[in-house]
Structure formats: C-alpha cells, structure tokens
Amino acid sequence: MRWGDKPYHSLDYEMKQRFGEKVYRLALNGGMTCPNRDGTLGDRGCIFCSQGGSGDFAASAALSVSEQIEQQKKLLLQKRPVRRFIAYFQAYTNTYAPVEYLEKIFTEAIRSPDIAVLSIATRPDCIPDDVLALLDRLNRKIPVWVELGLQTIHERTAAFIRRGYSLSCFDDTVTRLRSCQIEVIAHTILGLPGETEQDMLDTIDYLNQSDIQGVKLQMLHILKGTDLADYYSRTGFYIMNLEEYADLVIRCVEHLSPEIVVHRLTGDGPGSLLIAPEWSARKRSVLNYIHAQFRQQKTWQGRFFRESSAPETLPGKPSCRQHYPKEDTECQTLLQYTN
C-alpha cells in the first residue's frame, strides 16, 4: 500500500518517513484562555467546547511546561518505549497571550532534543504579526505546526456553533502561516447539526484547495456542561451511529487530497463528560472498525479527489477581521439556538 499498512496518509506514516520512527504527542496546557470564553467575543465558548477548552487530556497548567513534558513522557514510557515527541499545546487558544509569554513557554517546550515538533492549537483570529514572527523564528529551529479549529466552511453552521470568525479569516491566516512555511492542520467536526453529507464533503473539497498540510476529522461529541448538551436535550437532534460515522469518514477521506496528512479519524471525549455518542468513547475499537470498513470497501484516500473540485469562493463570505464584534449577525443567529 502507498502509505504502509493503511489506506490513507496517516500521521504515523508521515512521522516514520520524516523521523524514521514513531513520534508521540505530549498534550500540554499553556494556561491560556480563549476570546470565546473571556468575554472578548463571548463567555460561553463554542457550543461544543468543554470547560477544559477542548484540552481535557492535556497536562495541568499548574505545572511548568517542563514538568508537564516530564509527566507526560513518564506516562507514555510506562506503556511503550518512545524516543521522539510532539510538544502539543492543546487546551484553549494557545497563541492568546502576550508574545513574551508565548516565547517563554514555546522555547521551554522545545528545549529537550527529543522534541521533534512544536504543535500549537489555536484560532486563526489570534495570530497577530508579532506572534507570527515568533512562530517563524521557532520554525527555523524545529518544525512548527499550527492547528486551526475550522470545524466547517459553512458560515451558517459556524454561526450556530459560535465559532466567532469567518472563513476568509481562516484563509488569510493560512496564507500568512504558509508565507513562513509553517505547516497548518485544520480541525473539522463531522455531524454538526444541520449539515448534510454534501456540506461536509464541501468542507473537505475546500480544504483540498487550501494550502494546508494536515487535517483532523472528528465526530461531534456532546459533552456535559456545554450549550450543545442543552440543545441536544431540547431537540434530540440526530447523532450518527458507528456504522454511519465510519461510512461518512471514509467518504471524506476518499475526497481528500492524498498529499494531506490525516492526523485523526476519530476523537474520544473524556468519559466522565461524554453524553453522546457513547460508542465514540471506545476509540481503539472505532478505529479498528473504520480500518475494517476501508478494507471491505477496497477504498483509499484520494480515490475521488479532483484537483479543482472546490469553488474558489463561497457566496456571502464576509471580509476578514481579527474578531467579530459581539453584535455580529452571525452571533445573533446563534442566540436563537442557545438561549
């Protein structure tokens, strides 16, 4: 097979090509918050986001970055011999702080020679020029990846989930990051309320035309304490079962460019918070099932990829701004769903 033992361009395959061995993520917490939580854009976060800022498996921010790295390494080494790591700042918005602070924690994270990659999860409206310059400098020392929580290209869904920035802002930030040769990974959520399979495939087609290097696909999780949980209890909107999710994720991968690295096919919400879908908690068996379906369907990444399958522009794209003002109509639309 083109990518080792998998029918898609997995992160595992990519890391072995680049570093000659498996590389493992250390989930870190830089102790930052998010403009969607601190009142700048809103104080309730994206409707699916847990109190842990989508970083429920990350280390405690009460520890220094070096201590977090040592703690996470120790946990991994109990299970298997590991030699190279990705320092992954996962929780909340990891560029949402003064550049001096970011320089301190990122420099601390890459100090150890066994850190192969610095990966930073953030929002595209939170990378001002001084932060970009810092990432550019760091990227000259060690590969820097920036993970952007796009979730969907559709503005109506983005308003519903209270994402708080426009698609053109994502595009603009991808261009700026790529001008520094920083690799970009887009996060997408499958199964958002109101989205059809075609909507999700449109997101994949759009990403094919963007200059991104990786993608994370994830089933929508409904977690306790979120506005999505409240919406779910009121409406009982449809949640895919495992078989439907596997079929959908395979369709997405079939449409995905073979050049784009698949960093994730499924996620696992923290068991104590997960309301639905319950099957998603068994990440290993979900992955096994998806892999079995790939084999059964005799299919692979990029099978239906077409170079120019995405529209160059979507109708009604608003212009890029650093943040939406609170009175933005898209945010207003969302209030209909969450109040």
Residue 123 found at the interface with ligand SF4 (CB under 6 A): yes
Q: Determine which residue in the list 15, 46, 212, 253 makes contact with ligand SF4, applying CB under 6 A.
A: 46
Which residue type occupies 245? Y
Least separation in angstroms between CB 164 and ligand SF4 = 7
Contact 54, 29 (CB under 8 A): no
| Angle made by CA atoms 261, 146, 214, in degrees to the nearest 5 | 10
Tokens of 289: 């099932």
Least separation in angstroms between CB 150 and ligand SF4 = 11
Q: Determine which residue in the list 36, 152, 157, 280 makes contact with ligand SF4, applying CB under 6 A.
A: 36
Write out the DSSP string of 182-205: -EEEEEEEES-TT--HHHHHHHHH
| DSSP-based three-state secondary structure for 24 | strand
Q: Name residues whose C-beta falls within 8 Å of residue 5's C-beta, 6 or more positions apart in sequence.
A: none
Q: Determine which residue in the list 92, 145, 160, 279 makes contact with ligand SF4, applying CB under 6 A.
A: 92
| Closer by beta carbon to ligand SF4, 34 or else 290 | 34
Q: Determine which residue in the list 7, 53, 191, 269 makes contact with ligand SF4, applying CB under 6 A.
A: 53
Q: Determine which residue in the list 8, 26, 29, 37 makes contact with ligand SF4, applying CB under 6 A.
A: 37
Tokens of 236: 């009982």
Whole-angstrom Cα distance, residue 49 to residue 85?
A: 26
Tell me the backbone φ, ψ of residue 26, rounded to 5 degrees. Answer: -110, 115
| Stretch touching ligand SF4 by CB under 6 A, among 47-55, 57-65, 77-85, 177-185 | 47-55
- According to DSSP, the β-strands at 274-276 and 222-223 are antiparallel
Tell me the backbone φ, ψ of residue 298, rounded to 5 degrees. Answer: 50, 55
Local structure of residue 125 (DSSP, 8 states): G
Burial 204-226 (b: 16+ CB within 10 A, else e): bbbbbebebbbbbbbbbbbbeeb
Tokens of 300: 């692979």
Which residue type occupies 72? Q
Least separation in angstroms between CB 219 and ligand SF4 = 15
Least separation in angstroms between CB 3 and ligand SF4 = 30
Whole-angstrom Cα distance, residue 239 to residue 296?
A: 24
**Binding string, 210-239, against ligand SF4, x = CB under 6 A?**
------------------------------
Q: Determine which residue in the list 11, 15, 23, 34 makes contact with ligand SF4, applying CB under 6 A.
A: 34
| Stretch touching ligand SF4 by CB under 6 A, among 46-54, 73-81, 190-198, 279-287 | 46-54
Least separation in angstroms between CB 216 and ligand SF4 = 13
Q: Determine which residue in the list 49, 174, 185, 229 makes contact with ligand SF4, applying CB under 6 A.
A: 49
Restricting to residues 140-199, which ones interact with ligand SF4 according to CB under 6 A? 149
| Closer by beta carbon to ligand SF4, 115 or else 276 | 276
Local structure of residue 44 (DSSP, 8 states): S
| DSSP-based three-state secondary structure for 287 | helix
Restricting to residues 272-331, which ones interact with ligand SF4 according to CB under 6 A? none
Whole-angstrom Cα distance, residue 281 to residue 287?
A: 11
Least separation in angstroms between CB 307 and ligand SF4 = 32
| Closer by beta carbon to ligand SF4, 30 or else 45 | 45
The binding site for ligand SF4 (CB under 6 A) comprises 34, 36-37, 45-46, 49, 53-54, 92-93, 123, 149
